[in-house]
Amino acid sequence: MASPVNVTVTGAAGQIGYALLFRIASGQLLGPDTPVNLKLLEIEPALKAAEGTALELTDCAFPLLHGIEITADLAEGFNGTNVALLVGARPRTKGMERADLLEANGGIFKPQGNAINDHAADDIKVLVVGNPANTNALIAQAAAPDVPKERFTAMTRLDQNRAYAQLANKLAVPVTAIKKLAIWGNHSPSMFPNLFHAEVNGQNAADAVDDMAWYENEYLPRVGKRGAEIIDARGASSAASAANAAIDHVYDWVNGTNGEWVSMAVPSDGSYGVPEGIISSFPVTTANGEYEIVQGLEINEFSQGKIDATVAELVGERDAVKDLGLV
Ligand code: NAD
Ligand code: LMR
């Protein structure tokens, strides 16, 4: 059997952490042949709760779980880490301006980026889940100049999964009938789920829907605002579905997609006019532990307008954290 992979989860005592850790330990993150060492990184007041989760992890007697460490120390938490899931973040609270939110998260993701830079393994892969995910990833990346930039990614896989489920429901097909349905831009209501390159049972998805009014006025807001809909219904933000998407994101990054498209927010290389460097969602394929942005797609005017809007939002966030000296 392979040697254990070190997986760090920040915010391990939170609700996504609780939905995530057992699935990682059971082999769903990296595959059934890869043992894991889990590193649970929390702030001091939450360490006891993280210890409780560790007791339960132990009680599952997962054959692939080789070790559990719990710490509030960043150097320890990222020491030798191969996969970092940055989940813990500062949520927006009443009266908080966007700049305050970005600054508060800078206080979390900058030191975490520094610690990843100094202590993680050479093959470190980072997925940022904590919101605002794209820009938090940018902050961590900027604080880790020795780590290749492309190792910092943010999560739009939950948005992709939502987009698949809503389209499948509309067309009364199984989700497996859908391919190449990707999210572009920011993990925010401005995101763009692109039906023009998606396929349903081999047919173009926009043609299969054949209803631009539904696409624009129902589908896009439904997918884009699904996070708020969940918060309204549960009184808490999505947890199990977010953990599920994090598993999907990393599993596909590590194990390859065999030519299938998936959505990942990754540092732009300037493709499709998205300014180089911002962490924006694209359709990607993965192989051998690396991803590539799908190239050569023709973007129609409708899509270009939507992509421009969500990218402008990301540029605004980038500029705000630049003003704060974070990137
Ligand atoms: P939660 O409040 O239940 O848990 C967050 C945990 O993070 C807490 O245990 C807290 O102690 C910990 N934490 C705070 N600061 C930390 C730090 N500096 N280091 C380590 N741990 C720290 O929240 P949750 O429901 O688990 O959600 C976590 C984040 O994920 C939120 O920002 C949420 O908005 C985001 N989220 C993103 C997506 C997505 O699709 N990208 C989806 C759902 C939720
Ligand atoms: C989601 O998409 O479910 C979350 O990002 C919502 C949130 O604000 O935590």
pLDDT of res. 50: 98
Instruction: Give me the half-sphere count of Cα atoms (radius 13 Å) on the Cβ side of residue 19.
Output: 14
Residue type, 191: M
Instruction: Give me the half-sphere count of Cα atoms (radius 13 Å) on the Cβ side of residue 127.
Output: 27
- Taking the CA of 88 as reference, the closest ligand is 1
Query: Cα–Cα distances in Å, from 6 out to 37, 67, 85, 179, 266?
Result: 5, 9, 11, 32, 22
Distance 237 CA to ligand 2 centre (A): 6
pLDDT of res. 273: 96
Is 11 labelled as part of a ligand binding site? yes
User: Phi first, then psi: what are they for 49, rounded to 5°?
Assistant: -65, -40
pLDDT of res. 97: 82
pLDDT of res. 271: 97
pLDDT of res. 244: 98
Q: With a cut of 0.90, is the ipTM above it? A: yes
Hey, whose CA ends up nearest to atom 4 of ligand 2?
227
Helices 47-59 and 15-25 pack at an angle, to 10 degrees, of 30
User: Phi first, then psi: what are they for 203, rounded to 5°?
Assistant: -95, 150
User: Would you please indicate which residues are annotated as catalytic (active-site) residues?
Assistant: 187
Instruction: Give me the half-sphere count of Cα atoms (radius 13 Å) on the Cβ side of residue 149.
Output: 13
> Over the chain (327 residues), what is each successive 10-residue block's mean pLDDT?
93 98 98 97 98 98 98 98 97 82 94 98 98 97 98 98 98 98 97 98 98 98 96 94 98 98 98 98 98 98 98 97 94
Answering whether pTM is above 0.90, one says: yes
CB-defined site of ligand 2, < 6 Å: 131, 158, 227, 230, 237-238, 242
Contact at 8 Å (CB) between 317 and 95? Answer: no
Tokens at 268, concatenated: 């732009």
pLDDT of res. 2: 83
